[in-house]
Structure 1
């Protein structure tokens, strides 16, 4: 059998006027003129793709703030490795962020920042003899706080936050957990037993961690019950936080809470398919909107919230 090249003489064409517009010239980027300020820089960005979604997410945050609705952040450990902790602390102080949920890895990083002003590389946690290294001071502080807080019926976030506030650590003002407790906003931690190093520390007790972690999940469900017309942003957590957020919303709805018009977003260049499905699609259903900003959090998070603050101007305390 001989295969012959296909003739295109009968190909059907359509005029440009019949084609759907993909991008309009008014949304194209423009050159930025040096020295004209941040607002003009934002105007120079294209209103398309990731930049266009960033502007829509900005508008949702600004609207939520102005109308007294919630703006929640859910963070993985990379958020703190990227140096974003102090920025989030200031957003809490300015009442832009109204609730925080962290993975266990994020909690560890936050505590190390409070202690040292820096985070410890995971690649350096192996000792020279090949054994896995569990950091003494980090594990002691976290587990002592949890073990005490369980008796007070506190969750992990509140327990560690109060312990940090009682300390005299040099870099406490850079701790998101301590700042959240200081300003009275809900802070929850969702550990993965067997994955988080502090859970393998000699001071760790499964009973305390389980009780405190479960209380934090119930608190997160309570936060989700108040999320109508608000914004939920998952940053740099592809596995734990997307599922925990979705389950918390499902739990709140299961007990009769009416949750509507949620704006949800994932900021993560390597977001998993399940993270995008759970947060961007399912979390915002049935009447909200979801966005995936597929760039590095160390660039997109400061840019997003700088644009929020620029829009709010004198409305910020």
Structure 2
């Protein structure tokens, strides 16, 4: 079969005046002038794409804070590996963040930072002999806290938070769990048995781990039940947290809680399609807004909350 090139002689162009405006000149970036301050820097950013979504998310957080609504952060382990713990601690102290939900990996990172002041990586030998996932002090502290906390009917977040505050570690100011416990901010932890190292430590007991994590899931459902007109930001977790958040919100609605007008966001350059669907599409139903900020969390999160604090000014300490 012979195929002839298609003739464009009868092509009908559209006058440019009939095209809708995609981006106005007022939304373009402006040159930043050195020394003009952070507010001027924000004004220099284009009001388009990821930057526009950041501004909208900022406005939602500012509005939620001013109206005493929930602002909940859900974090994977990379958030703390990226050094964002001190920033989150400060936001807890300033009452910007009203609740935290952490993966088991984030819990491990936070405890190791509290103990050492830094994160750790396995040696080549540990990678080869299967010991890379088991850190003695981390596993002991977490599991001892969980095992005791179960007798007090505490969840993982509260159990570990109290244990950290009772310790004499030099770096507690970097721990989001210790800071949250100190300021009375609820923290739920959602481990994945078989994936999180502390669940394989000899001090781990399945009964305690199951009971405490189930209580934390109920705590998260309670947080989301009060999240109408609030904000949920999921950072660097594409598997565990999106599903846990969705199930917790479904549970709240199932028992009769009316939850709506929720602004949700994912900050994750490699978010999965299921995470985007769960967090941005399903959590915002029926009348909320959702955003996917695709930049790295170590840049986007500080920029987002710096813009929030700039907007609030003297309203926060």
TM-score by length of 2: 0.98
Q: Does residue 316 of the first structure (1) align with residue 312 of the second (2)?
A: no
- Partner of residue 35, structure 1: 35
Cα distance between partner residues in 2 of 1:232 and 1:38: 25
> Does the 8 A contact of 1:221 with 1:252 survive in 2?
yes
Cα distance between partner residues in 1 of 2:126 and 2:93: 39
Cα shift readout 1:194-245 (whole Å, capped 9, x = no counterpart): 0000000000000000000000000000000000000000000000000000
| Secondary structure of residue in 2 paired with 1:52 | helix
How far the C-alpha of 1:130 sits from its partner, in A, is 2.2
How far the C-alpha of 1:131 sits from its partner, in A, is 2.3
> Does the 8 A contact of 1:125 with 1:132 survive in 2?
no
- Partner of residue 97, structure 1: 97
> Does the 8 A contact of 1:142 with 1:160 survive in 2?
yes
> Does the 8 A contact of 1:155 with 1:215 survive in 2?
yes
- Partner of residue 176, structure 1: 176
How far the C-alpha of 1:110 sits from its partner, in A, is 0.1
| Secondary structure of residue in 2 paired with 1:233 | strand
| Secondary structure of residue in 2 paired with 1:232 | strand
- Partner of residue 130, structure 2: 131
Cα distance between partner residues in 2 of 1:232 and 1:45: 24
Structure 1's 45 and 103: CA in aligned 2 closer, same or farther, altered over 3 A?
same
Alignment of 1:29-68 (within 5 A): 29-68=29-68
Q: Which runs of 5+ in 1 are unaligned?
A: none
- Partner of residue 288, structure 1: 288
Structure 1's 125 and 200: CA in aligned 2 closer, same or farther, altered over 3 A?
farther
Cα shift readout 1:30-89 (whole Å, capped 9, x = no counterpart): 110000000000000000000000000000000000000010000000000000000000
Cα distance between partner residues in 2 of 1:233 and 1:165: 26
Structure 1's 236 and 124: CA in aligned 2 closer, same or farther, altered over 3 A?
farther
Cα distance between partner residues in 2 of 1:198 and 1:247: 24
| Secondary structure of residue in 2 paired with 1:127 | helix
Report the more deviating stretch, 129-138 or 287-296.
129-138
Q: Does residue 192 of the first structure (1) align with residue 192 of the second (2)?
A: yes
Cα distance between partner residues in 2 of 1:204 and 1:264: 34
Alignment of 1:80-119 (within 5 A): 80-119=80-119
Cα distance between partner residues in 1 of 2:124 and 2:105: 14
| Secondary structure of residue in 2 paired with 1:139 | helix
How far the C-alpha of 1:129 sits from its partner, in A, is 5.2
| Secondary structure of residue in 2 paired with 1:243 | helix
Which consecutive aligned stretches of 4+ in structure 1 deviate over 6 angstroms post-superposition? none
Q: Alpha carbon RMSD of aligned pairs, Å?
A: 1.0
- Partner of residue 226, structure 1: 226
Structure 1's 49 and 107: CA in aligned 2 closer, same or farther, altered over 3 A?
same
Cα distance between partner residues in 2 of 1:11 and 1:4: 17
Structure 1's 125 and 265: CA in aligned 2 closer, same or farther, altered over 3 A?
farther
Report the more deviating stretch, 183-192 or 125-134.
125-134
Cα distance between partner residues in 2 of 1:70 and 1:128: 41
